[in-house]
Amino acid sequence: MTVTTDSEQVRRAFEPGCPGNNARLEAIRAVAAAGISSCVTMTPLLPVEDPAGFARAVAATGAGSFIVQPIHVTRGKFVAGTRQQALDLVRKLGWDNDRYLATVNILRHHLPNLSEGKAGFAPPD
């Protein structure tokens, strides 16, 4: 299940038709509580207001693994690119590679099972 930010304002700007963050986190908690293996994907990771708080909220779901990826600027063979409007908004919000990397470092501190990029989507060993 995907949770891309801790900010409802950011979520509404990028994902206006999707469930809110609390609903997503509660759904993941329910799946994990039922004993079903679960994973939280933070892909693409959108601007985050409180990285440590976000990590704690995601960890509290009980999911067994976590995946993070940056926004894809260009289209790849199997990867959708991000529309220009979204890229413009990301820049306006000051979300750049440095902020992404700083946020990922904080997430890693709280989420020991955090994978990044394609490696996170590989089947378990």
Tally of domains within the chain: 1
| Residue 72 is assigned to a structural domain of this protein | yes
Which tens digits make up the pLDDT trace of 53-108? Answer: 999 999 999 999 999 999 866 554 444 445 777 778 888 888 899 999 999 999 99
Tell me what pLDDT residue 85 has: 78
More confident residue, 58 or 13: 58
Report yes or no on 1 lying in a domain.
Answer: no
Range of the domain at 85: 8-118
What single string gives the DSSP state of each residue in 22-89? HHHHHHHHHHHHTT---EEEE-SPPP-S-HHHHHHHHHTT--SEEEE-PPP-S--SSSPPPPHHHHHH
* Total-model pTM: 0.85
Answer whether residue 53 is part of any domain.
Answer: yes
